[in-house]
Structure formats: C-alpha cells, structure tokens
Amino acid sequence: MTTFPLVGEPLAVDLANTAVRLRGREVDLIADDEGLAAWLELHPGIGKVDGDEVRALRDDIREVFRAAIETRSAAHEAVQNINRAAFRCQTTLTSTPDGPVVEWGGGGLSVIARSAVEVVAAAHVRGCANHDCVLVFAQGDERRRFCDTKTCANRARQARHRERQHVQA
C-alpha cells in the first residue's frame, strides 16, 4: 500500500506531493495504476481519470507551484494546460442555512486544476525549508517553514543540535 505525504492539503497540493524524494532518489507515487488508484481513493470526488493525464497535470502544477515559490515566470505550456483543464470545471452556488456556498463540480482533472488556480491565486503555496525535501504545502500560518513537523522540521532541529555540539567540541 502506498503512503502519501501531507494528505489533507488542497487537492492540487496533494497531487503535487505525489512526486517525492526518498533517500536522495526521485519517486513517483502514482507511476502505476495501483498507486494512482490508492491516491484516488483518498480523493473520491475526482472520479475516473486517465493516469497519464493526471501525471501530466501534476507535472504542470509542480512547475507552476515552483515558479510561484521561486518568484519566477512559469513555463507557458504548464500554465496553459492548467487553464484549459480548470476552464472545464463547473461552478454552482448553493444557498445553505449557513449562507451561500460555492461548489466546484465536473470531476476529473478540472477540479484538480481549479484547486491549483485557487492555491496560486491565494499566494498560499510554499516549499519546505528542508533543502532535501521536494514537498510543497499551502501555508495558513506565516511562521510555518517545513512541510511536516515529524520529519523535516525534526531533521532541521537535529542538524542544529549536531552543529552546536560540533562547535562546542
């Protein structure tokens, strides 16, 4: 069974984080049908999608997120691909007792692309401060620097501790 990091981020961020680095090696967690099926099981609203199309959209989203993080222009083709997919997303305004709610429908790649547009528009995408980590996250707290406190932040604390020990010796 495939384990996915940081599940619970916005949909596009969850997809971007299916390409990881493990022990210095790039790993695609949705490279095969089994991995894709496991990821889709965590996101049932997407529905049936073509694996190659999902991986291509993921790569485009990662390019746009990296460009946002690095404050540079994103590859034109990646932006166009995301825009084309997001354009197919259906929007519905629903009245609820708690007030109006916007629902995004259409399933498939359109919902993922729409999520990517929202994350970039809100300027919430951040890269992990651990230089060995390739994960991104949607920053809600301005102080957040690491993707995860159990792994990357802990490794940074351990490295600082080792450095202090080395300086004192």
Per-residue pLDDT tens for 47-96?
Answer: 889 999 999 999 999 999 999 999 999 999 999 999 999 998 877 888 99
Q: Quick one: how many helices (H) and strands (E) in the chain? A: 6, 6
pTM of the model: 0.83
Query: 139 and 150 in contact (C-beta within 8 Å)?
Result: no
Query: Which CATH architecture describes the domain 11-168?
Result: Orthogonal Bundle (1.10)
The residues with which 96 forms a beta bridge, in sequence order, are 99
Closest C-alpha to 38, from 51, 26, 20: 51
Quick one: what percent of the chain has pLDDT higher than 70? 93
Cα distances (angstroms) measured from residue 29 to each of 6, 65, 83, 126, 143: 13, 19, 25, 21, 29
**Domain segments of the chain as ranges:** 11-168
Q: Is the pLDDT of residue 159 over 70?
A: no
Give the residue, 17 or 104, on which the prediction is more confident: 17
